[in-house]
C-alpha cells in the first residue's frame, strides 16, 4: 500500500490489517504532530525506526511527556490517549494495534452474541474470539464518561496491565510458598492503607476480600470475636442476643452480614440520619440505650464514610466518643468514601477514622482498580488471626517453612487470585500524590457542576454534596402529564434506551425520584457532566 498524507502533515500507510492486529508505518518531518487520540480497546505499540519523538500521554487529566529515539518502543496502554511529535529532521515509526483500530465512522452491527448455550460441541477458536468480542460489545459501556450508574466508571490502564499479570501468573494467595511476591504486594497495600488511616505499625493488619460486602461481613465477625471469643468454638447459642447499630443510609450488606453470621436481621438497628444523610448521633445513643434495656449486647456501631445515595459521611469522632465509653466495636464502612483519606479537602469528613477498630475500603470504586479490589482493615492484628484460623489444613499451611503468616489463615477464601495487585499497580504508578490529585480533580468537576445546577430553573440539588455523589431533582417540562414524582425515572430510562447515558436514580422520603450522578470516571470533566444534564433536560 502507498503512503497517504494526513492533515497533520505526516504520512501513513497500512502494512497489514488482519482480523486481530494491524501494522501501520508512518513517515514524519520535524515538528509534525498527531492529534491527541485514543485507540478504543486496542493496545498501541510504536517502534521508532528512525528519529526522535516527543510522546505526550494523558492519564486521568494529567500529562506525561517523554522523548523516544531510534529502536525504542512507545507503549500506549488501553485507556490512555496520547500525541506524538517528531523532534528530529525526519522520522519513521512502525505501529502495531491489536485488535485493529475500529473505524469510528463504521458502526459494527452487533445483533447478539449468538447461542450462549453450552453443549457437547466444541467451538473453533476464530468463532470463540468473535463471540467474546460480541460479549464485550453488547455489554454496558462502563468505560464511557457517560456511565455514572455505579460507584465506578472508566477503565484504568494500570488495572488492565495488572489483570494480565494476574491472569498469566495464575497462582493462589493462600500460601506464601505459592505466591511469594504477590503475597508481599498484598501485605504492602494493607500496610499502606493502614498507614493512611493512621494506625500504628505492628498493630495494623488486614486482608484482601472479594468485595466491600464481604469486608463488612468480616468486620462484624471480628466484633463478635472481640466481644464473645468463646463463640468461636461454642457458637452463638449461649451469647448475645446482639445489636448492631448502622445508619438508615448504610449499605444493605450489613443486613446480609447479620443473617449470614447468625445474629439475624433483627439485630440490625437503623439509626436515623439527617437531611444530608449523616447519622444522628443523639438517636444512636438512644438506640443503644433501648437495646441495652432489652438485654441485648451491643456488638458494633457501623459508621458509613460515603453513603451509596447521598455520599454522606457519618461523624466518626462523635460516634467514637459513644463506642469508647460503652466499649463497643467501631467499624467504618469506607468502601466508597475511603479515598477521602487521600486529600486535605476531605480529611474533615473522615476525621477520627484512626479510632475505628476496623475499616472497609474498596479500591475498585473511585480509584478504579479491577473489580474487586476490596480490603478489610483492622488495628487488631492478633484478633484477625484468632477470629479466622482453624486447624485441619496441615496439607496446605506448612508451618515449618512459613517465615511470615500465610495469608490464607486469616482469609475466608482458600485458593484465590492476587486481588491486591491491581490497586498496588495503580498506586505504584501514580504515587500517593497522584491518587490525591485524582480525587481533587473530581471535586473540582463537582464544584463546577453544582454551580451549573443551582442556576438551572428545572434542576435542584437533593442535598449539598459532601463527596462525589450529585443527587439532582429534575422538574418535568410544562407539557408533561406524567406524575412529576416519576419524572427522573422516565428521564433515566430514556437516556439509557437511547444509549446517551447510564445514570442511576433513587427516591426521597416523599417518594420523589431524582438522578444520582456519580463523578468518578478518570477522564471526566465538567463539560461531560453538563452535556449529560442538558440531554436530560431535553427529554420530552
Tell me which residues in 443-472 interact with a second copy (CB under 8 A): none
Q: Are strands 297-304 and 242-247 parallel, antiparallel or unpaired?
A: parallel
The yes or no reply on residue 305 touching a second copy (CB under 8 A) is no
Q: Give the x/- contact pattern for a second copy in 314-333, rule: CB under 8 A.
A: --------------------
3-state secondary structure of 523: coil
Stretch in the footprint of a second copy (CB under 8 A) among 31-39, 347-355, 447-455, 503-511: 503-511
Stretch in the footprint of a second copy (CB under 8 A) among 206-214, 312-320, 457-465, 528-536: 206-214
CB of 155 to a second copy, least distance (A): 5
Task: Write out the binding residues for a second copy, residues 352-411 only, by CB under 8 A.
Answer: 362, 364-365, 370-372, 387-388, 390-396, 401
3-state secondary structure of 420: coil
The answer to whether 278 and 313 have CB atoms below 8 angstroms apart is yes
Share in percent of the chain as helix, strand, coil (round to 5): 35, 25, 40
Among 29, 274, 460, 504, binds a second copy (CB under 8 A): 504
Task: Write out the binding residues for a second copy, residues 33-52 only, by CB under 8 A.
Answer: 41, 43, 45, 47, 49
Closest CA to 516 of 215, 279, 363, 312: 312
The yes or no reply on residue 13 touching a second copy (CB under 8 A) is no
Stretch in the footprint of a second copy (CB under 8 A) among 75-83, 326-334, 445-453, 456-464: 75-83
Among 331, 416, 446, 528, binds a second copy (CB under 8 A): 416
CB of 265 to a second copy, least distance (A): 5
Task: Write out the binding residues for a second copy, residues 213-242 only, by CB under 8 A.
Answer: 213-214, 217, 221, 224, 231-237, 240-242
The yes or no reply on residue 63 touching a second copy (CB under 8 A) is no
CA 198 distance to own-chain centroid: 22
CA 23 distance to own-chain centroid: 34
The yes or no reply on residue 128 touching a second copy (CB under 8 A) is yes
For residues 417 and 172, give the distance between their C-alpha atoms in angstroms, rounded to a whole number.
5
Closest CA to 220 of 261, 250, 189, 162: 261
The yes or no reply on residue 78 touching a second copy (CB under 8 A) is yes
Task: Write out the binding residues for a second copy, residues 257-276 only, by CB under 8 A.
Answer: 258-267
CA geometry: angle at 525 spanning 522 and 530, to 5°? 130
For residues 120 and 122, give the distance between their C-alpha atoms in angstroms, rounded to a whole number.
7
**What DSSP character marks residue 189?**
H
The yes or no reply on residue 507 touching a second copy (CB under 8 A) is yes
Task: Write out the binding residues for a second copy, residues 168-197 only, by CB under 8 A.
Answer: 168-172, 177-182, 184-185, 188-189, 192
CB of 488 to a second copy, least distance (A): 12
CA geometry: angle at 159 spanning 335 and 408, to 5°? 65
β-partners of residue 147 are: 502
**What DSSP character marks residue 416?**
-
Among 161, 383, 453, 532, binds a second copy (CB under 8 A): 161
The yes or no reply on residue 433 touching a second copy (CB under 8 A) is yes
CA 190 distance to own-chain centroid: 17
Q: How many residues bind a second copy (CB under 8 A)?
A: 151
The yes or no reply on residue 499 touching a second copy (CB under 8 A) is no
Residue 332 grid cell: 467504618
Amino acid at each position: 500500500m502507498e503512503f497517504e498524507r494526513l492533515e497533520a502533515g505526516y504520512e501513513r500507510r497500512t502494512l497489514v490489517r488482519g482480523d486481530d492486529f494491524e501494522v501501520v508505518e508512518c513517515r514524519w518531518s520535524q515538528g509534525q504532530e498527531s492529534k491527541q487520540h485514543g485507540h478504543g480497546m486496542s493496545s498501541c505499540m510504536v517502534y521508532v525506526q528512525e528519529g526522535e519523538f516527543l510522546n505526550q500521554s494523558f492519564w486521568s487529566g494529567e500529562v506525561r511527556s517523554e522523548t523516544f529515539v531510534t529502536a525504542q518502543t512507545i507503549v500506549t496502554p488501553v485507556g490512555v490517549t496520547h500525541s506524538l511529535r517528531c523532534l528530529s529532521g525526519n522520522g519513521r515509526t512502525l505501529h502495531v494495534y491489536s485488535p485493529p483500530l475500529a473505524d469510528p465512522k463504521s458502526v459494527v452491527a452487533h445483533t447478539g452474541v449468538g447461542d450462549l448455550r453450552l453443549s457437547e460441541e466444541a467451538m473453533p477458536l476464530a468463532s470463540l474470539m468473535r463471540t467474546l468480542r460480541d460479549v464485550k460489545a453488547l455489554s454496558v459501556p462502563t468505560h464511557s464518561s457517560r456511565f455514572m450508574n455505579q460507584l465506578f466508571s472508566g477503565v484504568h490502564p494500570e488495572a488492565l496491565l495488572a489483570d494480565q499479570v494476574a491472569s498469566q501468573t495464575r497462582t493462589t494467595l493462600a500460601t506464601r510458598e505459592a505466591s511469594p511476591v504477590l503475597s508481599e504486594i498484598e501485605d504492602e497495600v494493607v500496610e499502606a492503607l493502614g498507614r493512611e488511616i493512621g494506625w500504628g505499625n505492628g498493630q495494623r493488619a488486614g486482608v484482601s476480600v472479594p468485595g466491600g460486602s464481604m469486608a463488612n461481613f468480616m468486620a462484624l465477625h471480628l466484633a463478635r470475636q472481640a466481644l464473645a471469643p468463646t463463640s468461636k468454638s461454642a457458637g452463638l447459642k449461649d451469647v448475645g442476643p446482639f445489636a448492631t447499630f448502622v445508619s438508615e443510609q448504610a449499605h444493605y450488606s450489613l443486613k446480609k452480614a447479620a443473617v449470614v453470621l447468625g445474629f439475624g436481621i433483627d439485630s440490625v438497628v437503623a439509626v436515623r440520619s439527617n437531611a444530608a444523610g449523616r447519622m444522628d448521633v443523639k438517636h444512636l445513643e438512644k438506640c443503644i440505650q433501648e437495646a441495652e434495656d432489652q438485654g441485648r449486647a451491643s456488638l458494633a456501631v457501623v459508621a458509613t464514610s460515603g453513603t451509596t445515595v447521598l455520599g454522606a459521611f457519618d461523624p466518626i469522632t462523635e460516634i467514637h466518643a459513644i463506642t469508647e465509653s460503652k466499649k463497643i466495636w467501631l467499624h467504618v464502612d469506607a468502601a466508597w468514601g475511603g479515598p477521602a483519606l487521600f486529600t486535605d479537602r476531605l480529611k474533615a469528613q473522615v476525621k477520627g477514622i484512626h479510632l475505628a477498630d476496623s475499616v472497609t475500603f474498596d479500591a475498585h470504586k473511585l480509584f478504579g482498580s479491577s473489580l474487586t479490589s476490596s480490603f478489610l482493615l483492622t488495628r487488631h492484628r492478633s484478633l484477625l488471626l484468632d477470629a479466622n484460623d482453624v486447624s485441619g489444613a496441615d496439607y496446605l499451611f506448612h508451618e515449618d517453612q512459613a517465615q511470615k503468616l500465610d495469608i490464607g489463615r486469616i482469609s475466608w477464601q482458600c485458593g484465590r487470585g492476587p486481588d491486591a495487585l491491581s490497586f498496588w499497580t495503580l498506586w505504584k504508578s501514580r504515587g500517593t500524590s497522584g491518587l490525591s490529585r485524582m480525587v481533587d480533580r473530581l471535586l473540582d468537576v463537582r464544584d463546577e457542576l453544582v454551580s451549573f445546577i443551582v442556576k438551572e430553573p428545572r434542576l435542584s440539588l437533593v442535598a449539598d454534596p459532601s463527596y462525589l455523589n450529585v443527587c439532582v431533582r429534575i422538574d418535568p417540562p410544562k407539557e408533561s402529564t406524567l406524575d412529576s414524582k416519576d419524572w427522573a425515572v422516565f428521564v433515566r430510562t430514556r437516556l439509557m434506551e437511547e444509549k446517551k447515558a447510564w445514570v442511576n436514580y433513587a427516591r426521597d422520603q416523599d417518594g420523589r425520584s431524582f438522578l444520582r450522578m456519580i463523578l468518578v470516571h478518570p477522564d471526566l470533566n465538567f463539560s461531560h457532566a453538563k452535556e449529560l444534564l442538558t440531554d436530560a433536560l431535553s427529554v420530552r
